[in-house]
Amino acid sequence: MRKAAAYLDSASSEPLHPAARETLLAAYDRGYADPRRLHGAGRDARLLLDNARAVVAECLEVRPDEVTFTPSGTDAVHRGVLGLRRRAGAVVHGAVEHSSVVHAATWAGAARELPVDRLGRVHPAVPADAGVVAVQSANHEVGTLQRLTGLDSAAPLFVDACASMGRLPLPDRWDALAGSAHKWGGPAGVGVLVVRKGARWANPFPGDDRVDERAGGFENVPAALAAAAALRAVVEERDRVNTRQFALVDRIRAAVARIPDVEVAGDPVDRLPHLVTFSCLYVDGEALVTELDKRGYGVASGSACTASTLTPSRVLEAMGVLTHGNVRVSLTRDTTGEDVDGFLAALPEVVRDLRAEAGL
């Protein structure tokens, strides 16, 4: 398979950080055993798991006993949302939440949706019958940061921090939150659930005899340790990386806005540093992604369109912005100015050619 010249889809999954790669290989030699067991191999695994938890807690500025490793970010979201829910109360969530939050709320049978403005920011007035409020720290499609301190509710607050964990400090207000290691350069298959000390959380699923009732089964100790190593490295370098990525995304936002009939979505300033989404009128999003990939640029389409359903992005639709011909560009820690220059040179040509094929 041809390797893309520039991978610009870190919002889906960041390439494995070198710190994670080195740690993962070393941890497989000592972290294979069940950390509950009292024999030497089990004690070794427990030490590694406790170390991973301590590192993640230090990076996030939380307590180690508030941190649990789960099998995925999705699993952490489901456990966080449903575990905080007060009996019979509604699961109130923003209209632009990740599908894992929406599915958890729907599964609970009491979903209520908060509207958002054109930047994707949630309306602060929360219904009085809220059993739990679920609002992301930053939007995974357009990058807009949420203002969680302004939410008008005394209900427990779950924060989906998968898009921002490691890239930005945690918000001040939350009762439980979730992250996903592959979003910050850790291995896939590691989620992080953080439940604040004193929060009224109860396991919403059948349990087992694991030490931590918040865990979703046998912990992948080597992967957890590698995720912690990547998180530490990302936090240490984020000021430098964020400054560079913010400037590169500003260049992309300005350049694509000059293409006729293109709308850039999300807050231009109060946003994730590495991500930008825009929509091109009269162009199919999947065709844009395919043609850009042919030129060596791996991007995503937030439109989630397929040839059979043509379903627009739920996020963009809720914001009331253009949904047609959507492209999401998200930079990796290694994306260069030359990569951005090449993308910005290819994009207008691709848009022009696709519009010409459509007779425009």
Which pLDDT value is given to residue 205?
Answer: 86
What's the pLDDT at 307? Answer: 41
| 285-to-154, 208, 282, 357 alpha-carbon distances in Å | 40, 44, 10, 14
Neighbour tally for 224: CB within 10 Å: 30
Name residue 328's amino acid.
Answer: R
Segment 28-48, tens digit of pLDDT: 888 888 888 999 988 999 999
29 or 223, higher pLDDT? 223
pLDDT band at 216 (very low <50, low <70, confident <90, very high): confident
Report the distance separating Cα 175 and Cα 195, nearest Å: 6
User: What's the CATH code, domain 6-12+238-357?
Assistant: 3.90.1150.10
The residues spanned by each domain of the chain are 6-12+238-357, 18-234
Cα torsion angle, 77, 79, 82, 85, sign: negative
Q: CATH top-level class for 18-234? A: alpha beta
* Residue of 153, 159, 189, 190 whose CA lies nearest to 172: 159
Q: Determine the pLDDT at residue 3.
A: 45
- What integer is the mean pLDDT of 191-196? 98
Q: Which of 60-69, 202-211, 273-282 has the lowest mean pLDDT?
A: 202-211
Segment 76-133, tens digit of pLDDT: 999 999 999 987 789 999 999 999 999 999 999 889 999 999 999 999 999 988 999 9
Cβ pair 290, 279 in contact under 8 A:
no
